[in-house]
Amino acid sequence: MPVKTYRDALRDAMAEEMRRDESVVLLGEDIGVYGGTHLVTNNLIDEFGPTRVIDTPIAENGFTGAAIGMAMGGMRPIVEMMTWNFSFLAADQIIQNAAKLRYFSGGQVSVPLVIRGPNGGGVQLSAQHTHSLEGFYGHFPGLTVVSPVTPHDAKGMMLTAIREPDPVIFLEAGALYGTKGEVEDGDYTVPFGKARIAREGTDVSLISYGRQVPMLLRVAETLEGEGIDAEVIDLRSIRPFDSETIVNSVKKTNRAVVVQEQWRWFSVASEVAAILQEQAFDYLDAPVERVSGAEVPAPYARNLELAAFPNEQQIAEAVHRVLYRKDN
């Protein structure tokens, strides 16, 4: 299989669907002539023109509302948020309209809309550009929320998202855009609601999503040198959520560490811990550990940004706590 970057895999998916389906259009700030802040849409305007790759004003609430109307009318718009933080300006449209129109219409109206863009930190964009919003949008019924890690999944999940009849919140990690991996040629999809076992193991389950997953794989390699066999679970999908995979993993390993970039309180890691307590309590030999971002706005300075997000040492220490508790 050819090796591609994460951004190229996303671009390929959108371009392939635009060639296949003329109802697919792109909207966002600087996505056309400029090619997108992260170059995900680079050169697409050359092939598809300004009526299908639409440069919008700096008005998230306006162009998101326009995209919802387009979707209701039979088109399949893909909206880029320059960063997901800017979606706060469009939250009323996303939550009050896109997520609820099928319900309001008794199933008569669908909103086949994808909203995509960089989520989370790792690229020094400071506090107003560095939120992790998977917990926020994952809270609302009517929205599908996904966070692919590999270029293979980025393409396959984007193809799935574009073909969905309901709105999809597609969270990309800005720090992953340049990462590389094998990507299948041709048309393939990756289903939502199914986690990926990125590494099999028997001693502890390391669970995360987004840009934390490569970190977990590095930690697992280090732990192997200590004789610890860690399993790594890539959630991939926040809503719908794959409870079965994480529960089965913990039934095998008897211990779990959940890692997230977002803040600890009211978060995805909290939900994972609750699911494991409800469905795998009798298999747990230690409480579920959560490793989360610091409870501060994201700093700009590189050294402080690194300190504000989970690191390999923190994860390894959490693994040691669940393995070597005195009451085990």
Sheet with 196-199, edge to edge strand ranges: 196-199, 230-234, 204-208, 256-263, 289-293
Give the integer Cα–Cα distance in Å for 34 and 55: 9
Nearest to 314 by CA among 292, 295, 299, 284: 292
CA 231/CA 175 separation, integer angstroms: 23
Query: For residue 76, which phi and psi values (nearest 5 degrees)?
Result: -125, 80
DSSP string, 221-245: HHHHTTT--EEEEE--EEETT-HHH
Catalytic residues: 60, 129
Give the up-direction half-sphere exposure of residue 179: CA atoms within 13 A in the CB hemisphere.
17
Phi first, then psi, for residue 281 (nearest 5°) are -55, -45
Could you give the 3-state DSSP secondary structure of residue 20? helix
What is the residue type of 70? M
CA distances from 25 to 5, 183, 212, 315 (A): 23, 23, 31, 41
Q: Are 138 and 325 in contact (CB under 8 A)?
A: no
